[in-house]
């Protein structure tokens, strides 16, 4: 399996060794109220408590570790460059600062101001771009040339993907009885790292992807059997998952992700933000609140940098759970209404 893809389990284990002293082992939380609603046991991998507020620090630190000293000349890179809606930018800025490397972050002009402020707070230089993959790529390439820097792609860089996969190593240790992981997908770096890890160590565990209907390139790619980027810049409240999957993440998603679930904007909004009553601050139960990975179901809360709102990665276990025949709760709203929102591999 490993030879087919740009990363392997060995890469994820090496990433774990590289970053284990620099990141938190984030907690996994559960809620009796949510378990009752879901009809199964849900666990939330709370990456919103990670350094810089999201899982992105894992991949950024692993990438910087590999770049700090070039095998050819023993020198640090002159700069690192990336494009990001916010979280990867914050993470790379922080990681670069630890090594004294200038960071330049290309950020869509529509990105939340809290994310831009955080990037600047870590000492990086922000360059605005239009909210499209094409604009991000073009502007980042120009900055790389101007600074003679090194590009650290937010989701297609193998070192970044391997770093994100360390989440799965923790989940499998923290919740040994996990049956399924539900993971939000934008560019696919996190789900690719997780899928490679889970399918190598526990191939019977299901890996599900979740994304907004308005940014459903992962769903469309699985449906058509070929990489199908979003045709135009997506308009979705889930700003962290607007990116399309790419050439490095697609083969892993194609082969190792069991199903893709999509969620409407109304479903995202309906499960987002403060509510009254016990458990009101738990992350959304719609799959596309999309900051979540995990039946026993685990769901990674992947980030907490969304204009004051936080969201989860999930984990769950249902009595008599039989895999694909019993979809994760992240898709139950749509499933119960009779909508077909999943694409089986």
Predicted pLDDT of residue 188: 97
In this structure, CATH architecture of domain 9-52+158-269: 3-Layer(aba) Sandwich (3.40)
Helical ranges in 152-236 per DSSP H: 158-164, 166-174, 189-201, 217-224
CA 180 – CA 178 distance, rounded (Å)? 6
Task: Calculate helix-pair angle for 87-98, 113-121, nearest 10 degrees.
Answer: 0
Rounded CA separation 323/338 (Å): 19
Handedness of CA 327, 331, 336, 341 (dihedral sign): negative
Give me the pLDDT at residue 113, please.
87
Cβ(175)–Cβ(296) below 8 Å: yes
Has residue 296 got a pLDDT over 70? no
Give Cβ neighbours of residue 138 (< 8 Å, ≥ 6 apart): 129
Q: Which residue has the higher pLDDT, 68 or 89?
A: 89
Residue 188 Rama label (left phi>0; alpha psi -120 to 50; beta):
left
Strands 28-29 and 296-306: unpaired
Catalytic residue among 56, 115, 116, 199: 56
pLDDT at 286 over 50: no
54, 84, 85, 334: which is the annotated catalytic residue?
Answer: 85
- Mean pLDDT value of segment 162-183: 97
Section 185-200 average pLDDT: 98
Q: From the CB of residue 33, how many other CB atoms can be counted at a distance below 10 Å?
A: 13
- Complete DSSP assignment for 246-273: -TTHHHHHHHH--EEEEE-HHHHHHT-S
C-alpha separations of 339 from 10, 143, 184, 268, 331 in Å: 39, 44, 19, 16, 10
Average pLDDT, the chain: 82
Is 131 a residue whose pLDDT tops 80? yes
Q: Stretch 284-292: mean pLDDT, rounded? A: 38
Q: How do residues 221-268 score in pLDDT, each as one tens digit?
A: 999 999 999 998 888 988 888 889 999 999 999 999 999 999 999 888
Output the pLDDT for position 277.
Answer: 38
Residue 38 CA to residue 194 CA, distance in Å, equals: 23
Distance CA 157, CA 66 (A): 12
Does 14 have pLDDT greater than 50? Answer: yes
Tokens of 325: 């025949």
**What mean pLDDT do residues 316-332 have?**
35
**CATH top class, domain 57-151:** alpha beta
Q: For the chain, give every domain's residue range.
A: 9-52+158-269, 57-151
**How many Cβ atoms from other residues are within 10 Å of residue 317's Cβ?**
20
Asked, colleague to colleague, whether 9-52+158-269 and 57-151 share their fold, the answer is yes
78-102 tens-digit pLDDT:
999 999 988 999 999 999 999 999 9
62 pLDDT higher than 80: yes
Share of residues in the chain with pLDDT > 70 (%): 76
Please tell me which residue, 192 or 291, carries the higher pLDDT value. 192
Q: How many other β-carbons are positioned within 10 Å of the β-carbon of residue 225?
A: 10
85 is catalytic: yes
| Structural contact between residues 290 and 184, judged by C-beta atoms closer than 8 angstroms | yes
Between CA 166 and CA 62 the distance in angstroms is: 10
For 202-328, where are the alpha helices, taking DSSP H only? 217-224, 249-256, 265-270
Orientation of helix 87-98 relative to helix 56-67, angle to 10°: 40
C-alpha span between 43 and 170 (Å, rounded): 13
- The pLDDT score that the predictor gives to residue 73 is 62
- Please give the Cα distance from 303 to 85 (Å, whole number): 12
Single pTM value for the model = 0.82
Higher-scoring residue by pLDDT: 311, 10: 10
């Amino acid at each position: 399996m490993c030879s087919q893809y740009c990363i392997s389990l060995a890469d994820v284990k090496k990433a774990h060794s590289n970053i284990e002293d620099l990141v938190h082992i984030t907690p996994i939380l559960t809620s009796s109220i949510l378990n009752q609603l879901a009809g199964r046991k849900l666990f939330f991998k709370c990456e919103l408590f990670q350094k810089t507020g999201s899982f992105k620090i894992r991949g950024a630190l692993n990438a910087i570790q590999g770049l700090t000293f070039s095998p050819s000349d023993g020198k640090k890179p002159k700069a690192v460059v990336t494009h990001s809606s916010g979280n990867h930018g914050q993470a790379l800025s922080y990681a670069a600062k630890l090594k004294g490397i200038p960071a330049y972050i290309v950020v869509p002009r529509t990105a939340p101001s809290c994310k831009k402020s955080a990037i600047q707070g870590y000492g990086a230089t922000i360059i605005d771009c239009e909210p499209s993959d094409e604009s991000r790529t073009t502007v980042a390439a120009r900055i790389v040339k101007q600074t003679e820097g090194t590009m650290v792609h937010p989701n297609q860089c193998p070192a970044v993907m391997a770093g994100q996969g360390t989440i799965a190593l923790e989940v499998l240790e923290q919740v040994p009885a996990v049956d399924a992981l539900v993971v939000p997908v934008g560019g696919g770096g996190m789900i690719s790292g997780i899928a490679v890890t889970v399918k190598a160590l526990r191939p019977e565990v299901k890996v599900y992807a979740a994304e907004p209907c308005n940014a459903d390139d992962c769903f469309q790619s699985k449906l058509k059997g070929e990489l199908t980027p979003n045709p135009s810049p997506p308009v979705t409240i889930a700003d962290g998952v607007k990116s399309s999957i790419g050439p490095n993440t697609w083969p892993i998603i194609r082969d190792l992700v069991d199903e893709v679930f999509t969620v409407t904007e109304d479903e995202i909004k309906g499960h987002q933000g403060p509510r009254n009553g016990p458990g009101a601050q738990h992350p959304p139960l719609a799959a596309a609140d999309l900051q979540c990975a995990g039946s026993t179901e685990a769901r990674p809360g992947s980030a907490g940098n969304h204009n004051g709102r936080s969201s989860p990665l999930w984990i769950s276990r249902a009595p008599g759970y039989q895999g694909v025949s019993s979809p994760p709760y992240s898709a139950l709203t749509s499933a119960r209404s009779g909508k077909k929102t999943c694409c089986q591999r």
